[in-house]
Amino acid sequence: MSSVRRRAGRALVTASLLVGSLVACTVGPSERPPVAVRGTDMPAAPAPTATVPPDPDVLPNLEDQRPTIAYTDCTPDILQGLAGAVPAGRNLAAGCGLLEVPVDRDQPTLGDTRVGVLRVGAADAPDTRPPLVVVGDSATDPSARHAGRLAAQVPDDILATFALIGLDRRGAGNDLLDCSPPDARAAIVDASPSASDEARLSGLLEQSRSVVQDCYLLLSGALSSYRTAASAGDLEQLRVALGVARLNVLGVGDGAAAVASWASAHPTSVGRVVLDDPAGLAADQPDLAESRAAAAEAAFDAFAAGCTSAPGCPLGPDPRGTVSALLTKLGTQPMASADGDRLTAGAALAAVRAGLSEPSTWPALAQAIATAAAGDPSGLLARLAPALGPQGSFDGALATSCNDTARRLTPPEVSRLAQTWRTDHPLFGTAAAQQLLACGPWPVVAAPAPPAALPADAPPVLVLGTAADPRASQEGARKTAQLLGRGLFVGWQGAGTGAFPRSACITAVVTGALVGATLPRDGTVCPA
């Protein structure tokens, strides 16, 4: 049964500004000294073997781009999608283009496909302005349009320095993956978050098999191309198309994992790079699923605390209890909306979890939960539309998740995990275990190797970790910085998927690195 209908010039940051903005930051135990120096001039030719700066703690100089991508103006469409979020006085211009890339670099006979590229920046900026490539998370904001959203949020210094370049993830945007049978897709989302017995889990596995069969019939060997490694290869191809020797990149979530893989494979192409909440860089199932269940619990606790700390929380003094009671009620009787859609317990939990990624919408999420508890499911159903509605992200996110992992689990194994995780992660644990079966029938791609450490002479990479990101643990981001060797970790005690630009402290750190080539101290902690 369906949860929702399927078709429904350039400026440097001054030292005084940086110091003033970083007052709110505290420093962890690391003794690494801060670095605040500029890089040297880069060679004119955009060769990936550009000379490495002699000082390994110096970030490369910025380069003007010389793109070969043909853009067409799409400013009205992008601004309409931003729905009035652009600050007063900020005039943006956007161009949409396509980048031709191999369907699968491991299978050259499959030919090429095209992924979307979005260039957005100040309306009066020259086309040659240095690029800052943006790569979003497959489950939250995977298309090139993520760059448009950031263009409405970043500080003026970044827009005065860069043109933001959005890149479609495989399975999203121009490369949208839409292959699952609607009934099977809905069954996966609607699975009861209390189901842990082998019989019902076996039924869920059969629905997952239906998804794989239909997708394989449509895509055949190309099904394995929807993976993080493909986006890493696309990044290097984009660098060449932009005509720069070193690429400046901001990656979020598993988009940051793609950036890390690219940086590891092409260290001489690395410019100024920020990895924002990288997820699952060296983890396989079921460890990855459990870490995400724990992260979602932490994010829900932050959401609940935010609600109860304000007057008139619509969820009462115990938001967790309110949600649990709603799930129990829906598990007995799904709730129909006025237009015929039905909200199940599984769909309600999926809507809550999706809403935790964006703290700015938490008040609306709390109201939607309260409204559903009172008998109107429309608010929670609407929150599923980005995944399950037209141009939805569900298939692309599922393919990426399955192709990025090598371990496949059986219903008996998942049943044991579900019973354990129900105790350890009471709200999200069982559902996290169930999701392992969505990949059960998926063909296994060669196990993705974690990125190798960057060479000692590679530019430093800034790694951000958020305390309450429902998609990734902060400790995972810290381990990513250690894995890369050249990573500088900055923790944020806030919530949501992606720390930048949610706080003044994080914004100052990122702006300092991208614009001023000023690096924070490793282990810096920004308050919520």
- What is the pLDDT, as a whole number, of residue 445? 80
- What is the pLDDT, as a whole number, of residue 528? 84
H or E element at residue 249: strand 247-252
**Is residue 63 a part of any domain in this protein?**
no
Q: For 348-361, how does the pLDDT look when each residue is reduced to its tens digit (9 = 90+)?
A: 999 999 999 999 99
- Helix, strand and coil content of the chain, in percent to the nearest 5, comes to 45, 15, 40
What domain range is 389 assigned to? 182-224+300-407+434-438
**Is residue 187 a part of any domain in this protein?**
yes
- b/e burial code for range 29-40 (CB count within 10 A of at least 16 → b): eeeeeebeeebe
* Residue pointed to by tokens 């980048």: 99
The pairing of beta strand 342-343 with beta strand 335-336: antiparallel
**Is residue 204 a part of any domain in this protein?**
yes
- What is the pLDDT, as a whole number, of residue 446? 72
Instruction: State what percent of residues in the chain have pLDDT above 70.
Output: 89
**Is residue 13 a part of any domain in this protein?**
no
> In 3D, which of 461, 514, 483 has the Cα closest to residue 267?
461
Q: For 162-205, how does the pLDDT look when each residue is reduced to its tens digit (9 = 90+)?
A: 999 999 999 999 999 999 999 999 999 999 999 999 999 999 99
Domain count, the chain: 1
What average pLDDT does range 282-290 have in this prediction? 87
Q: For 207-260, how does the pLDDT look when each residue is reduced to its tens digit (9 = 90+)?
A: 999 999 999 999 988 999 999 889 999 999 999 999 999 999 999 999 999 999
Lowest mean pLDDT among 250-254, 401-405, 489-493, 512-516: 401-405
Distance CA 142, CA 148 (A): 12
Taking the CA atoms of 489, 491, 497 and 498 in sequence, report the sign of the dihedral they define.
Answer: negative
**Is residue 27 a part of any domain in this protein?**
no
- What is the pLDDT, as a whole number, of residue 282? 66
What average pLDDT does range 37-61 have in this prediction? 48
Look at residue 44 and tell me whether its pLDDT is greater than 50.
no
- What is the pLDDT, as a whole number, of residue 354? 95
Contact 484, 451 (CB under 8 A): yes
Query: pLDDT averaged over the chain?
Result: 88
Query: What residues does 463 pair with on adjacent strands?
Result: 275, 489
DSSP letters for 476-527? HHHHHHHHHSSEEEEEEEEESS--TTSSHHHHHHHHHHHTT-EEPPTTEEE-
Look at residue 12 and tell me whether its pLDDT is greater than 80.
no
The pairing of beta strand 92-102 with beta strand 112-122: antiparallel
Distance CA 492, CA 475 (A): 12
- What is the pLDDT, as a whole number, of residue 27? 37
**Is residue 167 a part of any domain in this protein?**
no
- What is the pLDDT, as a whole number, of residue 278? 92
- What band does 1 get if pLDDT is binned at 50, 70 and 90? very low
- The CA-atom distances, in angstroms, between 427 and each of 28, 296, 322 are 32, 9, 12
Residues 6+ apart with CB under 8 A from 205: 411, 437, 440, 441
* Residue pointed to by tokens 């967790």: 320
- What band does 450 get if pLDDT is binned at 50, 70 and 90? confident
Distance CA 19, CA 505 (A): 10
End-to-end distance of the chain based on CA atoms, in angstroms?
A: 40
- What band does 42 get if pLDDT is binned at 50, 70 and 90? very low
- The CA-atom distances, in angstroms, between 165 and each of 168, 221, 244, 251 are 10, 30, 13, 12
**Is residue 15 a part of any domain in this protein?**
no
Instruction: State what percent of residues in the chain have pLDDT above 90.
Output: 80
What average pLDDT does range 422-442 have in this prediction? 95
**Is residue 307 a part of any domain in this protein?**
yes
Distance CA 281, CA 263 (A): 13
Higher-pLDDT residue of 523 and 50 is: 523
DSSP letters for 308-321? HTSTT-TTTT-HHH
Tokens linked to 265: 């494979």
pTM of the prediction?
0.88
- What band does 448 get if pLDDT is binned at 50, 70 and 90? low
Tokens linked to 70: 């043909």
Residues 6+ apart with CB under 8 A from 417: 286, 290, 409, 433, 436
Q: For 107-125, how does the pLDDT look when each residue is reduced to its tens digit (9 = 90+)?
A: 999 999 999 999 999 999 9
Lowest mean pLDDT among 34-48, 343-357, 360-374, 412-426: 34-48
